[in-house]
Structure 1
Amino acid sequence: MSTTETAVRPRAGASAPEPAARPRGNGLPAAGFLAPFLILYLAFIIGPGLYGLVMSFFDTSLVKPGLGSFAGLGNYAEALRSPDFWSGLWHTIWFTILTTPPLIILAFVFALLADRVKRGRWFFRLAFFLPYILPSAVVALIWIFLYTPELGLLDTGLTAIGITPPNWLGDPGAAMPSLAVTTIWWTLGFNFVLYLAGLQDIPRDLYEASAMDGAGPWQQIWRITVPMLGRTTTLVAVLQVIASLKVFDQMYIMTQGGPNFATRSALEFIYDEGFTNLRTGYAAAASILFFIVVLAVSAIWFGIVRRQQKEA
């Protein structure tokens, strides 16, 4: 045995040195900073949510004090049997189908164009994002003016070139696509910013190396940009689907669910039952059912995200 091995090897029966314990800081300052948020979150999110869950099992009404008589699962059964509930859910899904693909594709295209602009890049970023900061009421009033029959900008322009415009918000077949166009114009900026941030994280060396190998712009987009933005696209899709499922403001302001309930979303059905028909217990049960639908869709999308993270 060499002298070096003897010096390094510990004595028989001697225990290995224990790692130094990590110092534990005082968590009171962090808890103090988090306390206001937690109190407000419990008071305005968790508390009302739990109360709504309890209320869904009672015949609660806005005109009667207290929870009312116990209904058990009667409110849930009535909502599941209601054609109005299923109609509102279908209108919500149809709106999601109309808005999600354009909001993903157009946001990617515009972000790609804005990222390649050499001068005035700030202007294009501002122009695409500016509508997103407008309140829903302002956006609705702008597009109501654009859709006004005979006097609106769209009707005037189409009539000038010999095209008969439809009744944008008065025709059951055109009302939902019209609302979808309004929503796309309004919310495109958020997805645009997410894609723009993702594009800036792609190393420029990849484009330079591919250009030296003879790859053109389209090949660079399909072989570098699109794969590198896979996680960003998944995030945008998840957020957009959830946001589209929760549509309410622009529909309620622009069409009030019409014409002939063709644009009545699930949230508007819940609102009408709770605040127009004053059946808050029944509305709470319908909202729980709708929450389960949104939760299921979110779980599917998050499962896709986790699979992508494992494959990466």
Structure 2
Amino acid sequence: MPSVAVEPAAAFTVPVPRGRGRQDWRSALFVAPYLLVFVAMLVVPLAMGMWLSTTKGDLFGTERWVGLANFVRLFGDAIFLKAVANTFYFVLLTVPFLTLAGLGLALVLNRQERWAAVLRTIFFASTVLSVTVVTLVWRLVFLPDGGLLGVTAEALGKTPIAFLNDERLAMPAIAVTTIWWCIGLPMVLFLAALQQVPRDLYEAAALDNASRWTTLTRITLPAIKRTFFLVIIIEVILQFQLFGQPQLMTLGGPNNSTRPIVLFIYEAGWRQWELGYAAAAAQVLFAMILIAAMVQYRLSSGKEAA
């Protein structure tokens, strides 16, 4: 049988489009401005803060590397531990109420009537106010002498309560102030989510004579589940950064009962001039926010997968 010589197949090559490298460079140039801003505004300050937290320095620039000494000192500082507890307490007071109240307002005001539009504007209006204005208004509410609650108590024959001077009531008073100030954002986010729910689902539920509770639990809440978790994550991040309200209303008192971590950082860095110590506290706060956000994200992802 005669042998047949088989020539090796030519190697298959994928033609590279001309100008592909030039197109990649153009794409990189479009992204470069954002990357430069991201690195300059986030990455560099974060790296500098991490380095500063391992040094002992002041505002005059003298630095000495001390390793983890600042962190060891932090977790032995009773005032810092009190600030951590105050911050968690404040988050627990505000985040659940902001989330549920924002959802409730969105459900009530998700209508086309004029009164609903007016109320949406009223509830969102407080969000655009500065913290200085908000705290000034609410100090006038909580003051025992001449304040709204004090005058009301006297009119009813009761003794006015000094909310901002009471260790047990000062933080709840700040929480009420914050809820009034921040309720607009979760309301708007929930409204946007509710308006994306297909109307066909509600029409089908109405044809089946579904109750309002069934419609809420079987259609509305599952449809806005992602927004629900998004609101929680946003509010946790925001409320962990509590600063202006206690600084302007109580100065962290009475007896450090309203001193949050950010106020502790401010005082350590700008009043005591211990930049390394303040930077270490800032890194702890960053880790707390990051862990809380990651845990919430994992929980929400797990529920969506289920």
- TM-score of the pair, normalised by structure 2: 0.88
Q: 2:240 aligned with 1:240, yes or no?
A: no
Aligned residue for 2:172, secondary structure, equals helix
What SS class does the counterpart of residue 26 from structure 1 fall into?
A: helix
CA distance in 1, matches of 2:296, 2:221: 19
| Map 1:18-167 → 2, pairs under 5 A | 24=20, 26=23, 34-62=31-59, 64-67=60-63, 69-116=64-111, 118-167=113-162
| Deviation larger for 33-42 or 214-223 | 33-42
Quick one: which of 179, 199, 209 aligns to 2:204?
Answer: 209
Q: Which residue of 2 aligns with 1:10?
A: none
**Partner of 1:169: helix, strand, or coil?**
helix
Letter in 2 for 1:158: A
- 2:275 equivalent to 1:280: yes
Cα deviation digits, residues 162-194 of structure 1 (max 9, x gap) = 444421111111100000000000000000000
Q: Is 1:230 the counterpart of 2:198 in the alignment?
A: no
Cα pair 2:79 2:256 within 8 Å, conserved: no
The superposition leaves residues 69-89 of structure 1 with CA deviations (integer Å, 9 ceiling, x where unpaired) of: 221111111111111111100
Q: Tell me: CA distance 1:231–1:19, structure 2 relative to 1, closer, same or farther (3 Å).
A: farther
Shift of 1:159: 3.0
What SS class does the counterpart of residue 194 from structure 2 fall into?
helix
Count of residues in correspondence between the two structures? 297
Equivalent pair of 1:92/1:265 in contact (CA under 8 Å): yes
More displaced stretch, 213-222 vs 268-277: 213-222
Displacement, 1:148? Answer: 1.7
Task: Report if the CA contact (8 A) 1:231-1:308 is conserved.
Answer: no
Hey, what's the Cα distance between the residues in 1 that align with 2:54 and 2:236?
29
Distance 2:13 2:58 in 1: 69
Which has the higher mean CA deviation after the structures are superposed, 187-196 or 154-163? Answer: 154-163
Q: Deviations over 1:245-268 (max 9, x none)?
A: 111111111111011111000111
Residue ranges of structure 2 left out of the alignment (5+ in a row)? 1-8
Give the whole-Å Cα distance in 1 for the aligned partners of 2:82 and 2:146. 32
Given that 1:166 and 1:174 are in contact with CA atoms closer than 8 Å, whether structure 2 keeps it comes out as: no
Structure 1 unaligned blocks of 5 or more? 1-12
Does structure 1 residue 298 correspond to structure 2 residue 293? yes
Q: Considering only aligned residues, what root-mean-square deviation do their CA atoms show, in Å?
A: 2.5
Q: Distance in 2 between matches of 1:199 and 1:180?
A: 27
Q: Do the aligned partners of residues 156 and 22 (structure 1) sit closer, same or farther apart at CA in structure 2, a change above 3 Å counting?
A: farther
Report the alpha carbon displacement of residue 152 of structure 1 after superposing the two structures with TM: 1.1
Q: Which amino acid aligns with 1:59?
A: K
Q: Report the 3-state secondary structure (helix = DSSP H, G, I; strand = E; otherwise coil) of the residue aligned with 1:149.
A: coil
1:222 Cα offset (Å): 2.1
Which whole-Å deviations, capped at 9, do the CAs of 1:19-62 have from their partners, x for residues lacking one?
99698573666655555544444334332222221111111112
Whole-Å separation in 2 of the counterparts to 1:233 and 1:274: 36
Aligned to 2:247: 252
Report the AA paired with residue 65 of structure 1. G
Kept in 2, the 8 Å contact 1:251–1:257? The answer is yes
Could you tell me whether the CA contact under 8 Å between 1:176 and 1:263 is conserved in 2? yes
Report the Cα distance in structure 2 between the residues aligned to 1:112 and 1:164, rounded to whole angstroms: 39
Whole-angstrom CA distance in 2 between matches of 1:93 and 1:65? 33
How many Å apart are 1:117 and its aligned residue?
5.3
